Chains A and B, each alone.
Chain A
């Protein structure tokens, strides 16, 4: 039977929202306080949802140790306590939480082989969250 497993992770990082293709005035207007050249930071919460058949012998969609190990090594170690603007993922893309969703989704999609990736969800603050399912509609 098919089940969906969701795991929450936390990391803290700084960023600055700025688009080189826009004028200084335009950047200030679009990004507001987030355009501060010195940057600012957030405590991000990352939720990863994977799905698959529940294995008859283990009772698992996938072993949590495999998911935790992958996310720790490929996402948390690379993103936690970093300035997102310095990472390869954000050399061309502005490190909005939308783009952070896409970056995390791609890392999982390309590297995690133990279950099917359904979606990633980010909370940038307690007041806003973002979800990405590889372009697919979200399951209710």
Chain B
């Protein structure tokens, strides 16, 4: 089994708010992140896939295919967008880094046919990241 990791970067706006909580509760729970006008981050995404090496190509996965899937499924949908307002997963879920990692996994997993998705890591800042391995 060999693991291959591809990085991508995107910038997006978001804010944290749960309509089931009172305004005061939202402010207490989410602090500055509750500003309804939004704020943004430069996200770094690391996608790790695993598989055996194809004896002819020497690849675990065709990087062109992986790059294409990342571009279509993640970057086109999220880069320079407002996550709460433009990305359907976040119409009903808070766009935390945790939920972003889960949403990206769910977008990528069905599209990766050659290699198996192992880990999605999303850096919100260089000092904060979340890993998701598809665990229930």
A interface residue numbers (CB < 8 A to B): 1-9, 54, 57-61, 63-65, 139-140
Closest 7 CB pairs of A and B: A59-B94, A59-B96, A8-B127, A4-B131, A2-B135, A54-B98, A59-B99
B interface residue numbers (CB < 8 A to A): 3, 16, 18, 20-21, 29-31, 93-99, 101-102, 118-119, 126-133, 135-136
**A140 CB contacts on chain B under 8 angstroms:** 3, 118-119
For residue A80, give the distance in angstroms from its CB to the closest CB of chain B: 16
Contact B98 A64 (CB under 8 A): no
Beyond the given pairs A3-B130, A6-B129, A59-B98, 11 more chain A to chain B contacts, judged by CB atoms under 8 angstroms and listed by A's residue number, are A1-B136, A3-B102, A4-B131, A5-B98, A57-B18, A58-B96, A59-B95, A59-B99, A60-B94, A139-B133, A140-B119
For residue B70, give the distance in angstroms from its CB to the closest CB of chain A: 20
A-B contact count (CB 8 A): 63
Contact A58 B129 (CB under 8 A): no
Q: Give me 11 A-to-B residue pairs in the complex whose CB atoms sit less than 8 angstroms apart, sorted by A's number.
A: A1-B102, A3-B132, A4-B130, A4-B132, A5-B98, A8-B126, A8-B127, A54-B99, A59-B95, A60-B94, A61-B130
A4 to B99, CA, bound (A): 11
**A65 CB contacts on chain B under 8 angstroms:** 31
For residue B110, give the distance in angstroms from its CB to the closest CB of chain A: 16
A58 to B95, CA, bound (A): 9
A135 to B131, CA, bound (A): 21
Assess A58 versus B102: contact at CB under 8 Å? Given A1-B132, A6-B130, A64-B128. Answer: no
For residue B116, give the distance in angstroms from its CB to the closest CB of chain A: 13
For residue B83, give the distance in angstroms from its CB to the closest CB of chain A: 11
**B30 CB contacts on chain A under 8 angstroms:** 58
